Structure 1
Amino acid sequence: MMFGWRRRKGKSQKQDNIHKKELEIPGHFRCPISLDLMKDPVTLSSGITYDRESIEKWLEDGNFACPVTSQVLRSFDQIPNHSLRRMIQEWCVENRNFGVERIPTPRIPVTSAEVSEILSRITESRNQLDQVGCRDSVQKIKDWGMESERNRRCIVANGAAPVLAAAYDAFAIDSFERNAMLLDEILSLMNSMYPLDEESCKFLGSNASLRSLVWLLKCSDISVKQNSMIALKELLSADQRHGESLAAIDGVNEILFKFIKEPVSPSITKASLTVIFHLVSSPNENMKSEFVQLGLVSSVLEIIMESEKSMCEKALGVLHQLCDFKEGREQAYDNALTIPVLVKKILRVPGLATEYSVSTIWKLSKYEKKHEGRVLIEALQVGAFQKLLLLLQVGCGDDTKEKATELLKLFNPYRAGLECIETADFKNLNRSF
């Protein structure tokens, strides 16, 4: 690595020439793997020193030999090379006029033994319902995780998630009103530990935990709502079976719908859409009916029309599931935005969004014969025929291909004089039709 000198005003030509030179890092200050200036030099059992981040990545990738000597390592211990680190820091200070910044003194990484000890304390505090002791331990883990990504990985690898989830469940059973602050701190810490494993899901998916998560959604603090909403999203994404238990909690559908109808933050809205998607994907039609009666179809259509890709895709997924049953389809038929919005999103938003759009139009045209003609005519008028042809040309999944082909056949009797191409969707594309 070279550090370039900046040219300063008012200097002589000779000094200008000096400034055009480059400052070279001494070879023994470079990591043999990354070739960059070492920030945290550590020495292996082979006697070779590397930057900690580089050698950890090397070992995590399943390599068991020293990269330089190819010698099989007797141990994976990484001994901090304090002398070399101080030399590097002194060199940085000596060359600060050339734009070199002094590397900070690295914190000693947390060890597995330290993580295991603090997790044991959390378990003990959980058993004794010691709120203060648990909060102190949770804060200690949070501080470690914020120091480095290496610490975070160590914490996760030593089983922090199920221990924290078990603590959450215990304090939720005790009283989620009295322990609300601790419960939120546990959820905040678990944000860096998703996706959830099976044991963590068991504790977070308990009746007490689910009720406390829903209760936290009612808090005025947006960060508390967000931590709880993300936890619900991760729980149902890991195991959709918890959806039935969640749906049985009074008022949960209204709370989730309110986050869609009256957004408080993009992350909460996205998480809410994911949770609702899992809920309406179940065979429980009463739950779907309740969401439809709340006005979810119109709300998701507005999101689809106005939102960026990720949000749009989630909203399309919800609409797609709602159109699996009659009441949801009737709401979609009654909304003038439905067909124009769905056709517009074909190819505009690649991936699942296009698949959901095609499949939803197919459902609306196939399941209710009395609406078939109107749906097909509206779709033709906003350019669906050309878009589906283009979709088949550029390629799509087998299921989408089958439905697009069937829709094209259904369009044929209605095509004369009705087609309208949205030219913005076909600009600069070669068409074979």
Structure 2
Amino acid sequence: MVFSWKRKRAAQEKLKKGEELVIPNQFLCPISLDLMKDPVTLSSGITYDRESIEAWLEGGSFTCPATNQVLRSLDQIPNHSLRRMIQDWGVANRNYGVERIPTPRVPVSGIQVSEVLLSLEDSVKSLNGLQCLELVHKIKKWGSESERNRRCVVANGAIRVLAAAFEAFARDSFESNATLLEEILSNMNWMFPFFQHSLDTEAQARLGSQDSLRCLVWFLKCRDLSAKQDSMIALKELASSDQKHAEALATIEEVNEVLFRLIKEPICPTITKASLMVIFYLLSSPPSTSTEIKSEFVKMGLLSLLLEVTVDSEKSTSETALGVFDILCDCEEGKEEASRNALTCPVLVKKILRVSELATQFSVSAIWKLSKHEKEHDVNVLVEALQVGIFQKLVLLLQLGCGGETKEKATELLKLMNPYRAGLECIDSVDFKNLKRSF
């Protein structure tokens, strides 16, 4: 205890004197020039930190960065002796703030992943739930260890196999396979971000089947927070990948009520946002499918709920809520309900130029639809919008610039409102002096 205190005191004295800690050159990665945490040696004989050399090789280079020698093999051999020297040096200099360097785990190989996926396919064919759960846990463990492992698992087609497993066990029984199904879904959840544009076609087909969709909706109704969140994210990924999945989801019993309840009784921001996105895609279906859905959501009271969500939510959630509101204003029931709500004009006008370009587009579009719906003797929407300062905002919007469709709607709104300006005192909802575009 005394010696430990003396060593720490001595290190502090050195630092006060301006003595800097010098890292031995052999401990530095030739690429990043940082202390190596997982040194590996290439066929050229040069040692690099694994993360740095993998990034180099993945970039399409097949030469040794230090010698420019073409590599005979891309194998990366762990340099255990150097790693232990670096760890010992770190322990000896911990008083200088050097963090402990843990022993790195050996990264998973494509061969290992393929073997597990083949075993998983066999267990799915025989509906061996226990063996399947064990293999799914192994995949989850690999994914939790490193970004490299996650990329390797995804690159070897894991999501297709997992989606097929989900469909098979969902078809067998939701209730008896609930734990396994949740684990499979949890694994797929961390794989979604690796697909920049859309899910693998086969994985889409499996996860978008009627059995899988019914299971996902059942999770939203009957399972805990984690399962609900994973299910909602999966539904959002499906709906955004292909409109046909949104149309298939619309045929699932009670799906509209479940989505509405998740917004009315919020559990977490992620679920709320994903629910709004799924509703947006449901309402964007062809009229033959979406007309009835719009009427149903309006009767539930979604329009009023959307206004409440828009007021207090962060940017992306507010945008989506406004997008759903705008689509609901396409149907007659939606226009009637929106026109009767006292919050409609104040909230929509407030969001113009306040959130984003997309939010402005949805707000202007919704007000334009409501103004076109008004009868000649009934101009409540136009008057209310003028009273909360929309005229100034629309003029400013045109000055700042906006999309062609929004520009046309804003111009038409100004013309429709102009006759009513004389008898009204337009209230400025914001000081426009020196206002810059907020998006």
Supply the distance in 1 between the matched residues of 2:293 and 2:14 (Cα, whole angstroms): 75
Structure 1 residues 56 and 17: CA distance shift in structure 2, 3 A: closer
**Aligned-partner residue type, residue 394 of structure 1:** L
Structure 1 residues 280 and 99: CA distance shift in structure 2, 3 A: same
Q: How big is the shift at 1:247?
A: 1.5
Asked if 1:324 corresponds to 2:333, the answer is: no
Find 1:64's aligned residue among 56, 62, 65. 62
Supply the distance in 1 between the matched residues of 2:376 and 2:246 (Cα, whole angstroms): 34
Structure 1 residues 280 and 34: CA distance shift in structure 2, 3 A: same
Alignment partner, residue 183 of structure 1: 181
SS in 1 for 2:21: strand
Alignment partner, residue 217 of structure 1: 220
Asked if 1:252 corresponds to 2:258, the answer is: no
Bigger shift: residues 79-88 or 104-113: 79-88
Supply the distance in 2 between the matched residues of 1:44 and 1:32 (Cα, whole angstroms): 13
Supply the distance in 1 between the matched residues of 2:15 and 2:223 (Cα, whole angstroms): 63
The one-character-per-residue Cα deviations of 1:161-189 (angstroms, maximum 9, x if unpaired) are 11100000000111112111111111111
Structure 1 residues 207 and 31: CA distance shift in structure 2, 3 A: same
Q: How big is the shift at 1:369?
A: 3.8
Supply the distance in 2 between the matched residues of 1:318 and 1:298 (Cα, whole angstroms): 12
Supply the distance in 2 between the matched residues of 1:25 and 1:418 (Cα, whole angstroms): 74
**Aligned-partner residue type, residue 46 of structure 2:** I
**Aligned-partner residue type, residue 277 of structure 1:** F
| Corresponding pairs, count | 423
Q: How big is the shift at 1:21?
A: 1.4
Asked if 1:162 corresponds to 2:160, the answer is: yes
SS in 2 for 1:191: helix
**Aligned-partner residue type, residue 269 of structure 2:** P
Structure 1 residues 28 and 346: CA distance shift in structure 2, 3 A: same
Supply the distance in 2 between the matched residues of 1:90 and 1:11 (Cα, whole angstroms): 19
Supply the distance in 2 between the matched residues of 1:97 and 1:430 (Cα, whole angstroms): 50
Structure 1 residues 329 and 423: CA distance shift in structure 2, 3 A: closer
Alignment of 1:218-367 (within 5 A): 218-282=221-285, 283=287, 284=289, 285-367=291-373
SS in 1 for 2:334: helix
The one-character-per-residue Cα deviations of 1:270-297 (angstroms, maximum 9, x if unpaired) are 1111111111111221111111111111
CA-based RMSD: 2.2
* 2:8–2:95 Cα contact (<8 Å) kept: no
Find 1:378's aligned residue among 371, 384, 396. 384
* 1:365–1:372 Cα contact (<8 Å) kept: no
* 2:389–2:429 Cα contact (<8 Å) kept: no
Alignment partner, residue 416 of structure 2: 410
Structure 1 residues 86 and 275: CA distance shift in structure 2, 3 A: same
Alignment partner, residue 38 of structure 2: 40
The one-character-per-residue Cα deviations of 1:231-276 (angstroms, maximum 9, x if unpaired) are 1111111112112221112211111110111112211111111111
Alignment partner, residue 129 of structure 1: 127
Structure 1: give runs of 5+ residues left out of the alignment: 1-7
TM-score, scaled relative to structure 2: 0.91
Alignment partner, residue 407 of structure 2: 401
* 1:383–1:419 Cα contact (<8 Å) kept: no
TM-score, scaled relative to structure 1: 0.92
* 2:350–2:429 Cα contact (<8 Å) kept: no
Structure 1 residues 32 and 369: CA distance shift in structure 2, 3 A: farther
**Aligned-partner residue type, residue 159 of structure 2:** A
The one-character-per-residue Cα deviations of 1:313-360 (angstroms, maximum 9, x if unpaired) are 111111011111111111111111111100100111013111111111
Q: How big is the shift at 1:10?
A: 8.1
Supply the distance in 2 between the matched residues of 1:130 and 1:294 (Cα, whole angstroms): 43
* 2:159–2:188 Cα contact (<8 Å) kept: yes
SS in 2 for 1:42: strand
The one-character-per-residue Cα deviations of 1:15-61 (angstroms, maximum 9, x if unpaired) are 46764211021122111221111111112222222111111122222
Asked if 1:146 corresponds to 2:152, the answer is: no
Bigger shift: residues 332-341 or 95-104: 95-104
Supply the distance in 1 between the matched residues of 2:200 and 2:211 (Cα, whole angstroms): 19
Supply the distance in 2 between the matched residues of 1:428 and 1:74 (Cα, whole angstroms): 63
Structure 1 residues 75 and 388: CA distance shift in structure 2, 3 A: farther
Structure 2: give runs of 5+ residues left out of the alignment: 1-6
Alignment partner, residue 426 of structure 1: 432
* 2:44–2:69 Cα contact (<8 Å) kept: yes
Supply the distance in 1 between the matched residues of 2:8 and 2:245 (Cα, whole angstroms): 68
Q: How big is the shift at 1:157?
A: 0.8
**Aligned-partner residue type, residue 388 of structure 1:** L
Bigger shift: residues 370-379 or 143-152: 370-379
Q: How big is the shift at 1:398?
A: 2.4
Supply the distance in 1 between the matched residues of 2:72 and 2:428 (Cα, whole angstroms): 67
Alignment partner, residue 3 of structure 2: none
Supply the distance in 2 between the matched residues of 1:393 and 1:75 (Cα, whole angstroms): 61
Supply the distance in 2 between the matched residues of 1:10 and 1:133 (Cα, whole angstroms): 56
Bigger shift: residues 112-121 or 386-395: 386-395
Supply the distance in 1 between the matched residues of 2:323 and 2:429 (Cα, whole angstroms): 26
